[in-house]
Chains A and B, each alone.
Chain A
Amino acid sequence: MPEGDFPLHALTQRPMAMYHSWGSQNAWLRQIHGVNPLFVSGEIWAEHGFAEGDWAILTSAHGEIRVPVARMDALNGKTVWTWNAIGKRKGAWALSPEAPEANRGFLLNHLIHELLPPRGDGLRWANSDPVTGQAAWYDLRVRIRKAPPGGPDHAEPDFAPIASPVPPAPGTVRHGGRTS
């Protein structure tokens, strides 16, 4: 793949809080990591003239997403990254449709095809490690540009809500303790 077309590496990291907690996506963890901007190196930030509150279009060989950006200097100059597993489709996890995860949250999945590009041999190979079958996340190369002003205040793609298999979540949670 020509480096000029996709000069940056895009990574994700699962928030450590998710590994160390008793529960998973619960009322506490979403207060610790409830939004996930795309962290952009100072070098990329300056090159594209980003300002706080801006949105960017991130493009790979496979697709395009529109996401909020944040500057991070403690980062390799040619790398962008975000927290994985924060973005949720509306209706998922019994979250309110207004939840930040379902609006400003996003995933890099839309940039990654499950198959490698065709090689003319009539076969399509899985985009995964040939030995373990693990998805090859760290192979993702992208390019970035500033999103045109006036776009919606939510990440794209933005899908219609899915029906929740569980009843709406309670407003106030008082986990454990004495019952009142």
Chain B
Amino acid sequence: MTALPPPSAKKLGLVIDLDTCVGCHACVVSCKEWNSQSPLGAPLADLDAYGAAPEGTFLNRVHSFEVTREAGPPVVVHFPKSCLHCEDAPCVTVCPTGASYKRAEDGIVLVNEDICIGCGLCAWACPYGAREMDGAERVMKKCTLCVDRIYNETLPEPDRVPACVKSCPAGARHFGDLGDEDSAVSRLVAEREGFALMPDQGTKPVNRYLPPRPRDALPEFDVLAPYLEPVTEGAGGFLGWLDRTLGKI
């Protein structure tokens, strides 16, 4: 079994905004692209890739839910899920070889694939289902927080964030030090009442989620309707002619 390091001051993690995530999967695809080419480990395989039941390894997935509510119209919520880099990571303590470990300096949870025996105990221990056994390599794969990007001095500085954060077109993913109360991510969590996922599991996840904002309610009457009434007989001049001509075909 593998020991956890003493709690680190630095706690690197993600803050994911469930209000602005549109479920486009850009983070899913860019994560797989980056991590398949990483020298840190084997590529993320796809079995039966073009067949009846393809099954591949992903370090980050988006689950979409439809929520029907008592008051207000139903809403769709997209929920991206990856490793939460827990402070009390059960996936580490369960590992029989020391392959699964948590870094003392920044709290990132990683797998040393060279000594992973593919027993799968860590995936069983993780209450979030955030680890996936690679079907071809038979080693455990998980989010590395793009440790080979965030400290990578060969990349331009703005690119030294996880691939999922870099690629998100909605700005719904944020990366930073959640151990520092004054960091941008910590302030965002405080401001938006960010929450930890399933805290009752006692794993002390580092990542935080920002809840969807309340939706606008429909007013009792439509304030814009009077402005939608036709106000002219129609356009005149060239535009009027064009409109009438196009209307005929």
Residues of chain A within 8 A (CB-CB) of B30 are 20, 22
Task: Tell me whether B25 is interfacial, beta carbon within 8 Å.
Answer: yes
Which of chain B's residues 136-189 have a Cβ closer than 8 Å to chain A?
A: 136, 167, 169
Residue interface bits B51-67, CB-to-A below 8 A is 1, else 0: 11011101000000010
CB < 8 Å: which of B23, B74, B169 contacts A74? B74
Interface size class of B (residues with CB under 8 A): 35 or more
- Assuming A73-B68, A131-B246, A169-B50, is B26 touching A176 (CB within 8 A)? no
B32 to A, closest residue via Cβ: A28
Task: Tell me whether B76 is interfacial, beta carbon within 8 Å.
Answer: yes
Residues of chain B within 8 A (CB-CB) of A99 are 50-52
Q: Is the interface of B mostly helix, strand, loop or mixed?
A: loop
Q: Contact between A178 and B51 (Cβ–Cβ < 8 Å)?
A: no
Q: Contact between B36 and A177 (Cβ–Cβ < 8 Å)?
A: yes
Complex: A157 Cα to B174 Cα, angstroms? 46
Task: Tell me whether A30 is interfacial, beta carbon within 8 Å.
Answer: yes
Q: Contact between B29 and A29 (Cβ–Cβ < 8 Å)?
A: yes
Complex: A176 Cα to B229 Cα, angstroms? 58
Question: Mind listing 20 A-B residue pairs with CB under 8 Å?
Answer: A17-B26, A17-B29, A20-B26, A27-B46, A30-B54, A31-B56, A32-B28, A32-B29, A74-B74, A74-B76, A93-B50, A98-B51, A99-B50, A130-B246, A173-B46, A173-B49, A176-B33, A177-B42, A177-B43, A178-B39
Kindly provide the distance from the CB of B58 to the nearest chain A CB, expressed in whole angstroms. Answer: 8
* Chain A residue total in the interface (Cβ 8 A): 38
The 9 closest A-B pairs by CB, nearest first: A177-B43, A16-B24, A20-B26, A169-B50, A27-B49, A98-B52, A17-B25, A176-B37, A176-B36
Task: Tell me whether B214 is interfacial, beta carbon within 8 Å.
Answer: no
Task: Tell me whether B47 is interfacial, beta carbon within 8 Å.
Answer: yes
Residue interface bits A139-180, CB-to-B below 8 A is 1, else 0: 000000000000000000000000000000111111111101
Complex: A125 Cα to B24 Cα, angstroms? 36
